[in-house]
Structure 1
Amino acid sequence: MMAEAARQEWLGWLAGERRAAALTVETYGRDIAGFLGFLTRHAGGEPSLPDLAGLSVADFRAWMAAEAAEDHGNATRAKKLSAVRSFLRYVEREHGVANSAIGLVASPRARKPLPRALTAVDARLITTDIGEVSDMAAIQARDTALFTLLYGCGLRISEALGLQRGEAPLPGSDAPLRVLGKGSKTRIVPVLPIVREVMARWITLHWQPAPEAPLFLGARGKRMDPAIAQLALRNFRRLNGLPEHATPHALRHSFATHLLAQGADLRAIQELLGHASLSTTQRYTAVDTAQLMDVWRRAHPKG
């Protein structure tokens, strides 16, 4: 049996037995057709099922290299390799033709997207004017305190909302903030005076006096939901024409990017963010370089 006939049979099985969506069947069919087309060129003839069984790791790697040469990224090649694995599993199950080499082929690792930071102007605008989204003084003070804390200390939204009232960094103290981060790891973060000032205004309007009460409360007195913070910032960015990537987490990215731009040490930024690996923090160097090149292209007379 020829591999193309098995492909058609497999696509029929996906549509009929598995009830896969038409677009899924079309995509899988196109991916496997491309794979078989490569094998035809690679081996000098249309492949049969025994030919599929005889493919080596080197053959699969040659196909992946050809895909890379076509400017297909890691994510795309990983998706196509997944389709090939699925097709070969079907061939083995239905026709008893197995290929052992496919299990030794590693999937390309998708590159993590670079963090998307805000400009310093946009980040400051959020911290000073976020309260305009609400007409309630307490909500205005709460949101100002929350977003100033995110940008001023580089916290994750979950870390900020996990704080208790008794942990609020207030004026009159220079004690750092103890933050419980990922993996239940605690880190120490210094707090800017402006963060203490806006936090004090919020605490005067905080409607639960117990130290163990959540620092940031929702309208019903429970711990504030991250979705509420995201909604507030979404409404604010639309009112003020900010980019769509202006999210609570973008303030954390902005904290790191702006520190780096001002000459902060990468190791220090790693500690402040609570990254387990320096390689995670090093992504911000790429962001800084990209922004520098963008400024250069726009400002240079030959740009």
Structure 2
Amino acid sequence: MEYNKGLTESNFYIDEFATYLMSIDKSDSTIKTYIEHVQAFAKWFKETNDINFDPIVVTEIDIRDMRSYLQGTRHLKETTINLRLASLKSYFEFLEGEKYIKNNPAKAIKKIKIQSPATPKSLDEQTYRALRRHIYRGGNKAHIAMFEIFTRCGVRNFELINIRITDIDITERKGNLKVIGKQNKVRHIPLHRDVRDAINNWMAIRKNVKTECDNLFISERKTPYTRSGIWKIFKKYCAQIGITDVTIHSFRHYFCRTLLKNGVDISIVAQLAGHASGYVTAQVYTIPRQEELEAAIKTLV
């Protein structure tokens, strides 16, 4: 994995930090983000204090000052600042654990409290049905199968990409999908009839494609998709019928929220979604959309 090393005169243990993150199963994108945040902090530290960055001399006050700078001067979102703080906390915890520094300056740093969580980007039923009809009308069997797996299995983008043909077990009356999620946690998702049909229709084509890859879905280059490649597919479908403010993760929101609205126990939804507990599910997927808040007000006499 490549990243920019030229921001300061010294490496300040970036290679070692990256190796550590890989050892605890952080994804490539997460590692890249953490390193960029550390490098951004080093650059800010040098410009602010007019001395070269050295993690040994960083104090808790420096990190607090950076937090204030990001919030008061750059006006970044609280979630963005908290992500940067999480990167620095991980970095300095690593340095302390490896005895590169004696004291962890980020230990007592707290995240910025967010008073009201952001409204989730989820599909309402009308938008879901309109998009589903449009994708089916397009006739692309792979895209149809992707959409059904996204919205009726609740998988993440990277999880869909990594599905292997051998991860699917379909019989006449039921089916099962093996999903490898974050931190390589495995979960099994029963397959809805529409998902089984969509996969079977795609497999009739997929089995004739000559490629060394055993991924269920492959790009036109006969290689696994990238996350941006998957997003471009559905971004195009959405744009064609005027749907905006929808992401791939909106499909996962739709899956979880629909189950919860249908009365499924939150612990079951959490297990299907690959969450560590129902608390995570409740924190994210029970937040009402703006349209639901407006509809609630309209019920007042």
State the TM bucket, normalised to the shorter chain: 0.5 to 0.7
Matching residue's letter, 2:214 = A
**Contact 1:170/1:199 (<8 A) preserved:** no
| 1:233 corresponding residue in structure 2 | 234
Q: Distance in 1 between matches of 2:226 and 2:254?
A: 22
- How is 1:25-174 mapped onto 2 (pairs within 5 angstroms)? 28=69, 75=78, 106-111=109-114, 113-130=118-135, 140-170=140-170, 172-174=172-174
Compared CA separation, residues 132 and 30, structure 1 to 2 (3 A): closer
Q: Once the 2 structures are TM-superposed, how far is the Cα of residue 156 of structure 1 from its aligned partner?
A: 0.7
Q: Distance in 2 between matches of 1:260 and 1:284?
A: 12
**Contact 2:167/2:179 (<8 A) preserved:** no
**Contact 2:179/2:187 (<8 A) preserved:** yes
Q: Once the 2 structures are TM-superposed, how far is the Cα of residue 115 of structure 1 from its aligned partner?
A: 3.1
| 2:189 corresponding residue in structure 1 | 189
Compared CA separation, residues 122 and 220, structure 1 to 2 (3 A): same
Matching residue's letter, 1:193 = R
Q: Distance in 1 between matches of 2:199 and 2:70?
A: 57
Q: Once the 2 structures are TM-superposed, how far is the Cα of residue 110 of structure 1 from its aligned partner?
A: 4.7
Larger Rg: 1
Indicate the structure with greater helix content.
Answer: 1
Structure 1: which 5+ runs fail to align? 1-10, 19-24, 33-71, 83-101
Aligned residues: 219
**Contact 2:161/2:217 (<8 A) preserved:** yes
Q: TM-score, normalised by structure 1?
A: 0.60
CA-to-aligned-CA distance 1:96-121 (integer Å, 9 cap, x gap) = xxxxxx97863334546453211122
Is 1:219 aligned with 2:220?
A: yes
Q: Distance in 2 between matches of 1:259 and 1:266?
A: 9
**Contact 1:161/1:226 (<8 A) preserved:** yes
What is the root-mean-square deviation of aligned Cα atoms in Å?
3.9
Is 1:178 aligned with 2:181?
A: no
| 2:205 corresponding residue in structure 1 | 205
SS of 1:287 mapped into structure 2: coil
